[in-house]
Amino acid sequence: MPDIQTPALTFAFEIRALLTPSLHVGHGDGERLEFTPIVGGTVDGPLLRGTVLPGGGDWSSTRGRVCELDARYLIQAEDGAVIDIINRGYYREGAESPDQYDGDLQVASAGVYYRTSPVFRTDAPAHRWLAETVFVGLARGIQEDTVAIRMYALA
């Protein structure tokens, strides 16, 4: 019988994105569309360190209790390499999600589903692994103007 391995998540880094107030774009049929500018931030972890560059943003589309997220922004690694991130996900309250911890750090609150699926692009050889790995992001609000997304690489 083959050795069967359960997929594992490995903490890679955390992005702390600084936001400005959301801009109301419009309403569709039962939908609210907003844009939240991303104006900076930090990237810190065992596999990547750097900054979030200003100029990106997050388009959010809310229908009922579910908010669909579609963010795009740039990260500059400590070595100067620029990395494009497209980060899509969902936020909803009242979900059957439990409290979740990474060690002593609470990374998700009970009753809140705030998950992302980021894709990275870069031609920098030192960071090419980002564009060749599947990630899962656990997001949480830190302050009114800051969101933290803890990135885990799927093995």
CA gap 151, 10 in Å, rounded: 8
| Residue 84 or 7, more confident | 84
For residue 2, pLDDT beyond 80: no
Query: Is the torsion defined by CA of 7, 109, 72, 130 positive or negative?
Result: negative
Mean pLDDT of the chain: 94
Residue 1 pLDDT: 65
Residue 74: pLDDT above 80?
Answer: yes
Upper half-sphere CA count for residue 7 (Cβ side, 13 Å):
8
User: Which domains, from first to last, does the chain contain?
Assistant: 9-154 (2.40.160.20)
pTM above 0.95, yes or no: no
CA distances from 57 to 19, 42, 46, 80, 86 (A): 8, 15, 25, 21, 10
Q: What's the length of the chain? A: 155
Report the percent of the chain where pLDDT is more than 90: 77
Cα distance between residue 109 and residue 100, in whole Å: 7
Of the chain, the end-to-end C-alpha distance in Å amounts to 21
Q: pLDDT tens digits for 36-65? A: 999 999 999 999 999 999 999 999 999 999
